[in-house]
Amino acid sequence: MKYLRLFIFFIVSLIVVVMVFSWLVPVKQSLDKSISIQAPAAVVYEQVARLENFNQWSSWNQHDSTVKLEYTGTDGSAGASSHWTGDPKISGEGRITIDSLEPGKMVSQKIHFIKPKEGHASSSFTLSELNGLTTVSWHFESETPRPWNIFNFFSDIEKNLGPEFEKGLAALKARVEKVTVPSGQSAAYEVKEMDFPETKYALIRQEVKWNDIPVFYAGHISILNAEAQRQKIKPGTATGLYFTWDSRQQLTEMAAAIPLPEGKELGSPIIRMETINKSKAIYTDHFGDYEKTLAAWTFLRQYIASHNLKEKAPVIEQYLNDPATVKDTAKWQTRVWMLVE
Both 169 and 214 in one domain: the answer is no
Q: Minimal CA–CA distance to 79: which of 104, 97, 106?
A: 97
**CATH number of the domain enclosing 203:** 3.20.80.10
Q: What is the domain count for the chain? A: 2
Residue-wise pLDDT tens for the chain (341 aa)? 555 555 554 455 545 444 544 444 455 677 888 888 887 787 788 888 888 888 888 877 677 778 888 888 888 888 989 888 888 877 788 899 999 988 888 999 998 888 877 778 888 999 988 877 889 998 888 766 555 545 554 455 666 666 888 888 888 888 887 655 444 444 557 889 999 999 999 999 999 998 899 999 999 999 999 999 999 999 999 999 999 988 767 889 999 999 999 888 887 888 999 999 999 999 999 988 888 888 888 888 878 877 788 899 999 999 998 888 888 888 889 999 999 99
Q: Minimal CA–CA distance to 2: which of 101, 324, 10?
A: 10
Task: Decide: 180 and 129 in contact? Cβ < 8 Å.
Answer: no
User: Is 10 within a domain?
Assistant: no
Per-residue pLDDT tens for 297-312?
Answer: 888 887 887 778 889 9
pTM above 0.85, yes or no: no
Both 29 and 169 in one domain: the answer is yes
C-alpha torsion sign, points 286, 296, 299, 166: negative
Out of 176, 201, 220, a domain closes at: 176
Dihedral, CA atoms, 232, 234, 238, 242, nearest 10 degrees? -80
Both 253 and 322 in one domain: the answer is yes
**CATH number of the domain enclosing 101:** 3.30.530.20
Distance separating alpha carbons of residues 5 and 59, to the nearest angstrom: 52
SS3 call for 297: helix
Distance separating alpha carbons of residues 114 and 117, to the nearest angstrom: 6
Q: Minimal CA–CA distance to 273: which of 339, 206, 205?
A: 205
Both 151 and 281 in one domain: the answer is no
Both 98 and 168 in one domain: the answer is yes
Both 216 and 262 in one domain: the answer is yes
Distance separating alpha carbons of residues 218 and 271, to the nearest angstrom: 15
Distance separating alpha carbons of residues 285 and 292, to the nearest angstrom: 12
For residue 157, the enclosing domain spans 24-176
Both 88 and 159 in one domain: the answer is yes
Both 204 and 82 in one domain: the answer is no
Strand partners, 254: 206, 242
User: Is 165 within a domain?
Assistant: yes
